[in-house]
């Protein structure tokens, strides 16, 4: 039996046309990253001055804020001191050759710039998707002004409109079961122990604690709910940031930046 082999021709330049979904997905991600950068740069330009003490938040949007801050320090010879909210934030500060401090030395900050998982029309926030909400809240509370940076996907009228992963609640490991049951019994919804992706078992925070993601099933008075959860023994901190943010910058799909003030 003879096999007839046909030559295969390739046209690398045209291959991309075979993957329209990939093209659309990449374009969408490019818009998101551009929106993050626009919001972060606007916040740094508007709220950081020479001799400022700056709290550096955590997450993907903050990367662009540190990028812009380092650029301004280099070009304008600004003298700024940076206090991180997480291991990631500390690495960003160090890798960009910015001056690193902490709250023991620099305990009063001029501004903290941080991201959010969601912000409602009153600038009540859900934070902690990256597991850093405790240190983020401490650093935000130490600042005269707390500035939020995010892309258009995080801009909501009410909490839960965009963010479906729940509110992170940091808990002492031995207490996660009682806390979970109490939240579900008193407030409804479901409190889910967050599992790690690169290791077996639960996520462990920078502080050695576990995280419960509370997926709520109705709109609440968030200030009261936050206080109620904080009263449960074993709860360290919640991802609710109520009455803390002064202004939010949302990078939009068209390249503009939307501002929301309290």
Active site amino acids: 136
The whole-angstrom separation of Cα 128 and Cα 125 is 10
Q: For residue 27, count CB atoms less than 10 angstroms from its CB and return exposed for 0-12, middle for 13-18, buried for 19 or more.
A: exposed
> Which SS3 state, helix, strand or coil, does residue 243 take?
coil
Task: Say if residues 195 and 165 touch (Cβ distance below 8 Å).
Answer: no
Other CB atoms within 10 Å distance of the CB of residue 145: 15
- CA distances to 73, 147, 235 from 52, rounded to whole Å, are 11, 14, 33
Task: Say if residues 161 and 118 touch (Cβ distance below 8 Å).
Answer: yes
Run of H or E residues at 34: helix 20-47
Instruction: List, in sequence order, every residue forming a beta bridge with 81; answer none if it has no partner.
Output: 53, 99
Contacts of 149 (CB under 8 A, 6+ apart): 36, 39, 40, 43, 61, 62, 64, 65, 113, 114, 115, 248, 249, 251
The whole-angstrom separation of Cα 164 and Cα 153 is 12
């Amino acid at each position: 039996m003879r096999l007839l082999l046909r030559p295969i021709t390739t046209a690398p330049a045209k291959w991309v046309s075979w993957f329209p979904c990939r093209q659309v997905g990449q374009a969408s991600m490019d818009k998101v990253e551009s929106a993050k950068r626009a919001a972060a740069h606007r916040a740094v330009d508007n709220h950081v001055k020479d001799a400022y003490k700056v709290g550096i938040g955590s997450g993907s949007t903050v990367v662009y804020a540190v990028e812009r801050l380092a650029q301004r320090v280099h070009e304008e010879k600004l003298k700024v001191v940076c206090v991180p909210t997480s291991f990631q934030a500390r690495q960003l500060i160090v890798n960009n050759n910015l001056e690193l401090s902490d709250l023991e030395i620099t305990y009063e900050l001029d501004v903290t710039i941080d991201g959010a998982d969601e912000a409602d029309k009153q600038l009540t926030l859900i934070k902690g998707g990256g597991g850093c909400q405790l240190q983020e809240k401490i650093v935000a509370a130490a600042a005269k002004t707390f500035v939020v940076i995010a892309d258009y996907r995080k801009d909501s009228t009410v909490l839960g409109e965009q963010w479906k992963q729940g509110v992170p609640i940091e808990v002492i490991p031995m207490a996660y079961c009682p806390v979970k049951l109490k939240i579900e019994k008193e407030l409804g919804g479901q409190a889910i122990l967050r599992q790690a992706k690169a290791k077996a078992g639960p996520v462990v925070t920078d502080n050695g604690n576990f995280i419960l993601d509370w997926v709520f099933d109705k709109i609440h008075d968030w200030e009261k709910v936050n206080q109620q959860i904080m009263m449960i023994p074993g709860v360290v901190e919640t991802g609710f940031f109520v009455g803390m943010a002064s202004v939010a910058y949302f990078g939009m799909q068209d390249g503009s930046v939307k501002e929301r003030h309290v």
